[in-house]
Each structure stands twice: as structure tokens, then as C-alpha cells.
Amino acid sequence: MLHQESGSGTTPPRRPARRAALIFVLLIAVICGAVAAGSLWSAGSTTDRELAAHRHQVTATTTGPAKDPPVATRYGSKAQAVAPAVWEQPENVRRSGNIHVPSRTPEGRAVTIWVDDAGSPARPPGSSADRAFTSLAGGTGAAGVVGVAGVAVVLLVRRRTEGHRLAGWEREWEQVEPVWSGRLHRGSGAGDDDD
């Protein structure tokens, strides 16, 4: 039986199913993004706690003036320079080296730095703001990947389904068209002259 779609504005029954599939894919993407963000937050918290156990703040004293780096860098919100300094870590063990300091820091200035268990300068443990940004970025990325992949699958399935539907329509038309147009099927005997 041949299905005809009228121009009366009725919605084909497949369209709500497509919308439902897309909504389902987007819902799955949001859930995956939330799970990824939560996992990143949890992993970051654990890493930061472990790192914080091996990071210590000490007071260093600059032994020379700050030198601005040849290329401008940013550390936090202040431009960073490098200066030679001395500090103690562990207690009563004198250390020296170059540390990051604010630009134009003079010799003899006390500066708080982070060091590891061995007393070497080290990056500070991560902050909640850093962890939140990483979690949000990771969750958004995961949701985007899942969403794009899901929509691509829905569109691919739609295209294949549409192709099968059109092929079925062509087969039905091949059977109906000769009768509808007044042509007879080949081999029907009418109009054949074997003489």
C-alpha cells in the first residue's frame, strides 16, 4: 500500500521519535559530563591532599635583586621575576637557589615560598578554584564529546532509515506506476506481436 503525505501540516509519526532520541542523547551527555566533572573533582582533591602533605611554606630571604625574565610570564596575577635566595628546610638545613618573586624585589626581602620535603622550591598544592575550573572544563568536554557522538549516531540511523523507506517507496512505485499511468507490465501479452 502506498503511503501519501499530504501538505495539510500534519507531522509524520517519525519526527517525535527523532526529537525524543535527540533529547535522550543530550540527557545522556549531561549525565556523562556531570559524572566526569565529579570524578575530576574527586581525583583532584585526592591529588591535592597528597601533594599538600609534601609541600611546606617557608620564608626565604633574597640575596640579590630580582631579575625580570627575558619573556614576560605570569604567576598567579603578578608578573614574576627571579631572584637568588636562601631558606631553611628541613629545620636548620640551609638551602639556596633561585626563586620566583614579584618584579623589583630588592635584596634582603623576606618572601614566602613553597618547598617539597627535600627543601627544593616546588609548586604549591592546587586550590579549590583550580580544581573547580579543571572539573568544569573536563565535564563540559565529556558532555560535548558524548553529545556530538550521540547526535551523529542519531543522524546516521535517521539517514539509513530514510534510505530504506525511500527504497521501499521506489519498489512500491514500480508496482503501482504502470497501472496508474496506463502502461501495462512487460510480458503481460497486451501489445506483444510475436508474428
Residues 33 and 82 in one domain: no
Residues 135 and 44 in one domain: yes
Residues 157 and 136 in one domain: yes
Angle of helix 128-181 relative to helix 14-52, nearest 10 degrees? 160
Is residue 177 domain-resident? no
Measured CA to CA, the distance from residue 68 to residue 82 in angstroms comes to 6
Is residue 145 domain-resident? yes
Is residue 171 domain-resident? no
Domain that holds residue 153: 17-49+130-165
Residues 77 and 116 in one domain: yes
Alpha carbon dihedral 93, 94, 97, 99, in 10-degree steps, equals 80
Number of domains in the chain: 2
Is residue 170 domain-resident? no
Is residue 26 domain-resident? yes
Reference 148, options 21, 26, 27; nearest CA is 26
pLDDT in tens, the chain (195 residues): 444 444 444 444 557 777 888 889 889 999 999 999 999 999 988 888 888 888 888 999 999 888 887 655 455 455 578 999 999 887 778 899 999 888 888 999 999 999 988 888 888 888 888 889 999 999 999 999 999 998 898 888 888 888 777 877 888 887 777 777 776 555 554 444 444
Is residue 63 domain-resident? yes
Residues 43 and 61 in one domain: no
Residues 64 and 89 in one domain: yes
Beta carbons of 105 and 65 less than 8 angstroms apart: yes
Residues 61 and 105 in one domain: yes
